[in-house]
Amino acid sequence: MTISFLWIITGLGVITLISQWGAWWVKIPPILFLLIIGILVGPILGWFSPQVVFGHLLEPIISLSVAVILFEGSLTLSFKQIQGLESVIRNLVTLGIAATCILTSLVCHYLLHINWNIALLLGAICTISGPTVVMPMLRTISPNQKITNILRWESIAADPIGALLAIIVLTGIITLSQHGSTGFFIFSILETLIVGVGLGVLFGYLLGKALQLQWIPDFLHNVATLCIVLFAYTFASSLRESSGLLTVTLMGLWIANRHEIIAGELLGFKESLSILLISGLFILIAAQMHLKQTLSLIPAACILLITLQFIIRPISVFLCTWRSMLTIRERLFLAWVSPKGIVSASVAALFVIQLNDNQIDQANILLPLILLIIIGMVIFEGVTALPLARWLNICQPEPKGILIIGANPVAQAIGKALQDEGIQVMLTAFEWHHSHSARMAGLPIYYGNPISEHADRHLDLVGLGKLFSLSSYPDLNALASLRYAKEFGQREVYAMHIAAESEDNFQDKYLAAKRHHGQALFDKDLTIDAFTEQLKHGSKIRSTTLTDNFTFQDYQAQHDKKAIPLFAISPKGRLHIFTENTQPSPSTGWNVVSLIAPSPTS
């Protein structure tokens, strides 16, 4: 069946959209859809052959895409943040990676009879994790905070570090096959490291300075960054093969640790591009597989998968968590979860081309083995991780916490009142003075834009199930409501009205439609500005427990119009919100939280 090039490109875009949407709908990583579709349209139905369609362009397409993905991944790796976490994370991305590489290589060579070259390369590639798989899995399982932090940072850090290890192994394989000299191999490794490190630091420094000093206008930041990354990769690869990936990885590391604000801004340039690159790469890579060869490798892949899942990963985790504060239950769960992602597959696809060019034996088994392991791990861990977490009793309870957009006095007062009732809260702010005062009040806060790409990666939503938009910026409230409605559901998104006098400063055509703000919080007359004024005049948020002798009707009669009910909390800790359309009926044992005006005498 012959399909025109135009339809192939268009079809890849449509398949990407359908796969991403389908994965979001059923709450599983999109990698599974993409790999299955790639195998279906490629080796099974024969509709799409990347080698035939793209020819000699296939290698540059894959290599440049991998370069962009590795650059973006390294942008998220701030050593300051890693040093602030538990030592087990550092062990996993150093000692754990080394143990996984060595043990996997031994299994491949002695059990699967794979030559040492490919065995070592398989071991190196199997150290690469997959944050695009881990993050959705964590949100579905909702494990406790320690496990979430460890798995999140391991997956982010293991991508560039594992890729660097694989590059070094590949360089050694190619060098020894061509020259057969250990001395020349060491020289080649040093040459690759010098070129990669030197150009990575140089281009990272120049790009960071150019953006910091505004040599490049804002509207060109994304385009300039992408072009410089691609140029750096190509220039380094032309000087020394295999040094390009090292160069772009170190570029990202340099910017992430020397220009943290710029790194956060640059993450946005990859938001839409990465979805297309990652999705397109998975389809391209899966479509290259040969059906007969892949089927013949299933037994070997099963053996490797079983040893990775039940032997190598547990040994690595228990070695890295020795004498740590983690419980045995937490260690067991960490030993269970280690899925692979796009970087593993793309690095394997890129290396196969280079290995075949250098006539390395058994090179063709590398890619199908990695893809089979990825598919097997995603299916197995995706199905078993949640029941295991529940059995080990490490899941957080039903998410009852509140994500609060804003950290102004109103947001802080509401957040503190909820926190005092035992309800988890997380405030967000991009004004330093609000962030500082919230921290001083003992409130957890995310300092940054809550709808940024950085927030998508670093704003911890575990345990949170509702959104309160309480900032003084109506458009931010609207955008946050739209963004987090996908996480929490439209029914769990709330926002406070902004006073009419504040909205009069904007023309209607500049304001987001009210339907984008979520449900209205509290009484319609209790706007953010009105709430702020009441706080200034001495009003306090207070909690009262109802009894048989003091009902809600008694409570209302006692306070008359001085109390504005905000929340009612049941004896089981469930939060009920007073809104324009919803009026809870609290009874004995409930806590009523209200904004209470001071008495005239006070």
Residue pLDDT, tens place only, 240-295: 877 888 888 888 888 877 765 555 556 555 556 667 777 788 888 888 888 888 88
Provide the b/e sequence for 208-218 (b: ≥16 CB within 10 Å): bebbeeeeeee
Q: Which residues lie below 8 Å from residue 233, measured CB to CB, with a gap of 6+?
A: 63, 64, 67, 244, 245, 247, 248
Alpha-carbon distance of 458 to 452, in angstroms, equals: 10
Higher model confidence: residue 350 or residue 516?
350
E strand or H helix that includes residue 16: helix 5-26
Q: Residue 27: what pLDDT? A: 66
Average model confidence (pLDDT) across the chain: 81
Alpha-carbon distance of 510 to 504, in angstroms, equals: 11
**Looking at residues 429-439, what average pLDDT do you find?**
83
Alpha-carbon distance of 188 to 316, in angstroms, equals: 30
- pLDDT tens per residue, range 144-160: 777 887 887 788 777 77
Bridge partners (DSSP) of residue 575 are 569
Give CATH for domain 55-391.
1.20.1530
Residues of the chain with CATH 3.40.50.720: 401-596
Among 24-28, 265-269, 405-409, the minimum mean pLDDT is found in: 265-269
Q: What letter does residue 514 receive in the DSSP assignment?
A: G
Nearest to 162 by CA among 390, 316, 292: 316
- pLDDT tens per residue, range 356-383: 888 888 888 998 899 899 889 888 888 8
Q: Which residues lie below 8 Å from residue 97, measured CB to CB, with a gap of 6+?
A: 127, 158, 161, 162, 165
Question: CB-hemisphere CA count at 13 Å for 130?
Answer: 30
Contact 211, 260 (CB under 8 A): no
**Looking at residues 125-146, what average pLDDT do you find?**
78
Residue 506 has pLDDT above 50, yes or no: no
Contact 223, 231 (CB under 8 A): no
CA distances from 34 to 27, 77, 250, 362, 567 (A): 14, 27, 29, 26, 45
Higher model confidence: residue 354 or residue 303?
303
Q: Please, which pLDDT band fits residue 336 given cuts at 50, 70 and 90?
A: very high
Alpha-carbon distance of 313 to 307, in angstroms, equals: 8
Q: Please, which pLDDT band fits residue 48 given cuts at 50, 70 and 90?
A: confident
> Which value, in Å, is the radius of gyration of the alpha carbons in the chain?
27
- pLDDT tens per residue, range 175-222: 777 766 677 777 877 888 888 889 999 998 898 888 888 888 877 877
Q: Which of 5-19, 99-113, 441-455, 538-552 is modeled with the greatest confidence?
A: 99-113
Residues of the chain with CATH 1.20.1530: 55-391
Q: Residue 243: what pLDDT? A: 82
Alpha-carbon distance of 501 to 182, in angstroms, equals: 77
Alpha-carbon distance of 476 to 114, in angstroms, equals: 56
Dihedral sign (CA 102, 103, 106, 107): negative
Q: Is CATH 3.40.50.720 the classification given to domain 401-596? A: yes
Residue 103 has pLDDT above 90, yes or no: yes
- pLDDT tens per residue, range 443-479: 888 888 887 767 776 777 777 888 888 888 887 888 8
- pLDDT tens per residue, range 61-70: 888 888 887 7
Q: Please, which pLDDT band fits residue 335 given cuts at 50, 70 and 90?
A: very high
Q: Residue 501: what pLDDT? A: 46
Residue 546 has pLDDT above 90, yes or no: no
How would you write 229-282 as a 3-class SS string? HHHHHHHHHHHCCCHHHHHHHHHHHHHHHHCHHHHHHHHHHHHHHHHHHHHHHH
**Looking at residues 154-167, what average pLDDT do you find?**
80
* Percent above pLDDT 70 for the chain: 89
Q: Please, which pLDDT band fits residue 510 given cuts at 50, 70 and 90?
A: very low
Residue 101 has pLDDT above 80, yes or no: yes
Torsion of Cα atoms, 288 then 293 then 297 then 301, to 10°: 0
Number of helices (H), then strands (E), in the chain:
28, 10
Tokens read off for 149: 């932090």
